[in-house]
Chain A
Amino acid sequence: MRIGVCIKQVPDTDSHLRIADSGREIDDSDLNWVISSCDLCALEEALVLAEAEVSRGEERPEVVVFSLGPARVEEALRKALALGADRAVHLAGEALQGGDALADGCALAAALAKDHCDLVLTGAQSDDLGQAATPAVIAEILGLPYAWLVMAVELDAPRQSARVVRELEGGMNELLRLDLPAVLAIQAGINKPRFASLRGTLQARRKPLHREDCSAVDAGLVGAAGAGTETESVTLPPAGAGGVVIEGVSAEAAAEELLAHLEREVAL
């Protein structure tokens, strides 16, 4: 059995974001890049599922990580290898870059199919664009069942289907059964991602990482050519409702001022 995990490298949400001079993207000159948070949960879930198979006396499934992007994403793939993935695939071809979820989903679907993955895990949505579209696109292109916002996964004994809990609004969950192969988009909170050990980091250097250019896919479907959308501009959100801002004073002074307002507003 093989579990494919798609990870995206995104700007650290704690880093300072500046809009690039072009006005079309963020300035990436001094950003901290990390694996998108739900994608780390997807990888953790794959590793936990693999370990559970071993403790059931089955052969350990192979965990393969996939990431599309420029050269810097190899750092994210090495991190995933250090965490316990067995092998990594970098969708690196020049023609693959500059796409949107439709184009990237198309390239990832091709790579996942080439590796015959029985189960595909991704994060529920990326911390940067947050469209929650790529896993659904992969599922549609591969003609597989799909679940979004997955909070629990269990494989049945013959590994023909997965039982899944998925989140709905307002604190409700849905229980699903999906035939394998399937695509599951993992929601944050399903598990606590492990930290890489020193041993894992050392081992990661020797694990296979290969580049894939998806040349078998029609060039019009991937990268900028395959994108269905284009970002025209990136801006700061519109200023707020004009609330009172307390800034640049001591904590005590800020607290005093706030309480004076609240006294009137909510009758403390």
Chain B
Amino acid sequence: MVLLPHTYQSAEYAPRLAVRLGAAYVASVSSATLDACGGLRFSRAILQARLRAEVRPKRRLVVATVQIGAFGGHDPVESPERVFEVGRPADVERHREREILGREAAGAGGVDLPGAERIVTAGRGVGGPDEVSVAADLASALDAELGASRPVVDNGWLPREHQVGSSGHIVAPNLYVALGVSGSIQHLMGMSGSRVIVAVNRDPEAPIFSVAHYGIVADLHDVAPALTRLLEARRSG
């Protein structure tokens, strides 16, 4: 078995490695077990983390990538049995059919999400560009920064610098309020370290509830304005 972390680097080449080795391939696994006969079983999220699948490799050799954060760290093993030194293949310098020209920041902005004490995040469930205001209003009533899930950014409802998740900001505020966010792995990677997590979602089975300390199963368009009104009433009262 060959195990790799499911990073944006290794997940790019890992399936190629499986093909080249004639191995089975399983991506982004969150656990692995052995059955009574010594057969491997991997567990992984499917359908945007709404369900889980148990997957059995049918080949002797397996390449698998492991979801980041799925396994707790272990103390390093004292002396590894064998360490292989791998040299650079001789022909690697000849012709590059794929060449890295450089790296750059994807574009920063004036939002201080990583430094925020409180964040209110708009998910795709807010419904559209004009409805993002329900999240923005609650954010201002809570003195919070405004976050966004990726589809909200991809659809142009909020600029990229608001994005929370594996390809956006990694945040760990005191309070994180997710409005209409389903709770995909990529989103959770960006915010599951928050101290208090509140989720408002009308789907009781939304995976965001598995990390939420407080979950409200309801329409966010009813609950978020009600919260905003209460907070504003207190402020002026």
Contact = CB atoms under 8 A, between A and B. Distances in A.
The reply to whether chain A is a binding partner of chain B is yes
Interface of A: 11, 13, 17, 19, 26, 100-102, 105, 127-134, 136-137, 139-141, 144-149, 151, 163, 167-179, 182, 188-189, 192, 227-241, 243-248, 251-252, 254-256, 258-259, 261-262, 265-266, 268
Contacts of B46: 128-130, 234
Contacts, number: 255
Main secondary structure of the interface of B (DSSP, over half): mixed
B167 A169 contact: yes
B152 to A, nearest CB: 10
A74 B167 CA distance: 33
Given A237-B207, A252-B226, 5 more contacts: A11-B47, A130-B45, A145-B98, A229-B26, A236-B52
Which 7 residue pairs of A and B lie closest in terms of their CB atoms, listed nearest first?
A: A228-B24, A240-B210, A189-B154, A251-B222, A136-B15, A131-B27, A255-B226
A139 B16 contact: yes
**For A17, A171, A238, A252, which residue has the most chain B Cβ atoms within 10 angstroms?**
A171
B193 interface: no
B210 A236 contact: no
Contacts of B142: 268
A192 B213 contact: no
B154 A140 contact: no
B230 interface: yes
B37 interface: no
Interface in B55-73: 55-59, 62
Contacts of B55: 229-232
A54 B202 CA distance: 47
Interface string B3-39: 0000111011111101110011111100000000000
A209 to B, nearest CB: 28
Contact of A227 (B19, B50, B58, B97): B58
A243 B103 CA distance: 41
A132 B9 CA distance: 12
B126 to A, nearest CB: 14
5 contacts: A102-B15, A102-B19, A167-B106, A174-B103, A241-B210
A229 B231 contact: no
A13 to B, nearest CB: 5
B51 interface: yes
B133 interface: no
A136 B18 CA distance: 10
Interface string B122-157: 000000000000000000001000000011011110
Contacts of A129: 46, 53
B2 interface: no
Contacts of B212: 240, 243
Given A175-B103, A243-B209, A255 B24 contact: no
Contact of A235 (B7, B54, B218): B54
Given A101-B15, A140-B19, A239-B210, A265 B25 contact: no
Interface in B208-237: 209-219, 222-223, 225-227, 229-231
Interface string B173-202: 011000000100000000000011110000
Contacts of B52: 234-238
B215 A246 contact: yes
Contacts of B77: none
Q: Give the interface residue-count category, chain B.
A: 35 or more
Contacts of A105: 15, 19
A175 B101 contact: yes
B95 to A, nearest CB: 9
B47 A13 contact: yes
A176 B12 CA distance: 14
B55 to A, nearest CB: 5
Nearest to B47: A128
Given A147-B12, A228-B23, A179 B97 contact: yes
A91 to B, nearest CB: 18
A105 B231 CA distance: 54
Scoring B58, B59, B102, B205 by chain A CB atoms within 10 A of each residue's CB, the highest score goes to B58
B83 interface: no
B100 interface: yes
Contact of B13 (A136, A228, A238): A136
B175 A188 contact: no
Nearest to B107: A171
Contact of A171 (B19, B45, B102, B167): B167
B116 interface: no
Contact of B205 (A100, A234, A236): A236
